Amino acid sequence: MLDIIINSFWLIIPAYCANFFPVLLRGRHPIDFEKKFIDGFRLFGDGKTIEGFFGGIFFGTVIGLLLIYSQPLIQNIYPLQFQHDILSVFLLTTGAVTGDMIGSFIKRRFGIKRGDSAPLLDQLDFLIFSLIMLSIICTLNIYWVIFLAIVTPLIHYSSNICAFLLKLKKEPY
């Protein structure tokens, strides 16, 4: 079980970081340029910004580069089953911010307002898309995917509570 936990987190750290960082940026330029879809709702809403999209990819990539750099050292301590490279990091980070935007798009289509809760969609959209993107270049261990699908909503909810307490978010979910 410890092997699943360590390798799962090692794999997904760049995506987690890419998903978290936009909250800190508080971007001001909506990525949808305030355009509305056919149904009259915004494509993504004010919460999805140009700064957040590119900042998330940048921050996740920086963290991913640190992982790549530290892999040889970690391998001496613990035999990692997944090795990051620049392509895996790019796919994970891009998938994470894109998945988050697609989740926002889906919420708008169902008339769910920005900040309103959409259980599981809010917590798993970035994870699903980052793993889909990564699966383009490698086969994912199903146990890692299952573990991440279970633990990510708990981590996401906990981090949202922290962001709420730090006044980085208006809602604790």
Give the residue extent of every domain in the chain: 2-165
Q: What is the pLDDT of residue 41?
A: 81
Regions of the chain with pLDDT less than 50: none
Give the CA count within 13 Å in the CB-facing half-sphere of 98. Answer: 13
pLDDT at 170: 80
- pLDDT of 26 reads 81
Give me the pLDDT at residue 148, please.
Answer: 98
Helix (H) or strand (E) holding 172: none
Cα 30 to Cα 17: distance, rounded to the nearest angstrom: 21
DSSP 36-63: B-TTSSBSS-TTSBHHHHHHHHHHHHHH
| All residues at 6 or more sequence positions from 99 whose CB lies less than 8 Å from its CB, including other chains | 125, 126, 127, 128, 129, 130
Q: What pLDDT score was predicted for residue 149?
A: 97
The per-residue pLDDT for 171 is 79
Q: How high is the pLDDT of residue 11?
A: 98
